[in-house]
Amino acid sequence: MTSPTALMSAKREFVKISDENKISHYFSRKTIIGDITICARENAVIGLHFGGRYFSEAENAESEIIRKAFAQLDEYLEGSRRDFDIKLAYDGSNFRVSVWDQLRRIPCGETKSYKEIACGAGNPRSCRAVGKACGKNPIPVFIPCHRVVGADGNLTGYAGGINLKKKLLKIEKTTAISPC
């Protein structure tokens, strides 16, 4: 007999949930940048994934926090929102959390280099570690790792791909609202 999870769309990626990152709800839907899955634990967003995802240990339901997160994401992608005011929760090493906190301080429409983030996180020689922390960012877009660029201003890796990084930065540069 085929399990229910084996019947899910081939486009979905199956994810095992660890106890420290256990989610209670998740929901996937299409946006103008493709399929997005948002995950929540209690009243905080704990994950954003590009593409459809299935979590066997959580309820596939659009909870109030997920509904609010998608509404704010849609406004951002349409250019009518520059900042998010939803509650986020993320776990990681002290250094990673420090980097993610630094990323949240980069104003919409601006970029910072890995070195600038490393300095802000208290370790100017940790540029590569900043890159790894960006790569492990559990809530991209809401924690804007797409705003981090190389020392020469060139775009570097992004979980959603360089083209998506370009698109997000373009949205921020051309937004109809006045700068922060």
- CATH number of the domain where residue 56 is located: 3.30.160
pLDDT (tens digit, 9 = 90+) per residue, 124-157?
A: 999 999 999 999 999 999 999 999 999 888 898 8
- At residue 143, the pLDDT reads 96
Does residue 88 sit within a domain?
A: no
**99, burial (CB in 10 Å: exposed 0-12, middle 13-18, buried 19+):** buried
Domain boundary among 78, 110, 138: 78
Assess whether 40 and 101 both reside in one domain. no
Is 65 inside a domain boundary?
yes
Entry pTM? 0.83
Enclosing domain of residue 110 = 94-173
**pLDDT tens by residue, 22-44:** 888 899 999 999 999 999 998 89
Q: Is residue 87 part of a domain?
A: no
Tokens of 59: 């309820």
* CATH number assigned to the domain comprising residue 107: 1.10.10.10
- Whole-angstrom distance, CA of residue 81 vs CA of residue 22: 29
Average pLDDT of 79-90?
A: 92
Task: Verify that 99 and 169 share a domain, yes or no.
Answer: yes
**Percent share of the chain, pLDDT over 70:** 85
Query: Is residue 180 one of the residues assigned to a domain?
Result: no
Does 146 reside within a domain? yes
127 catalytic per annotation? no
Does residue 14 sit in the same domain as residue 74? Answer: yes
Which residue in 39, 108, 134, 145 is the catalytic one?
Answer: 145
14, burial (CB in 10 Å: exposed 0-12, middle 13-18, buried 19+): exposed
Domain count, the chain: 2
Burial track 62-96 (b if 16+ CB lie within 10 A, e otherwise): bbebbebbbebbeebbeeebbebebebebebeebb
Domain end marker among 44, 78, 112: 78
User: Which amino acid, residue 114?
Assistant: Y
Q: Which of 30, 50, 78 is the last residue of a domain?
A: 78
For the stretch 103-113, pLDDT in tens is 999 999 999 99
Q: Are residues 50 and 24 in the same domain?
A: yes
Comparing 76 with 1, the larger pLDDT belongs to: 76
- Find tokens 């590569």 and name the residue: 128
R_g over Cα of the chain: 17
Is the residue at 27 inside a domain? yes
In the predicted structure, residue 122 carries a pLDDT above the cut 60: yes
The pLDDT-based confidence of 175 (bands split at 50, 70, 90) is low
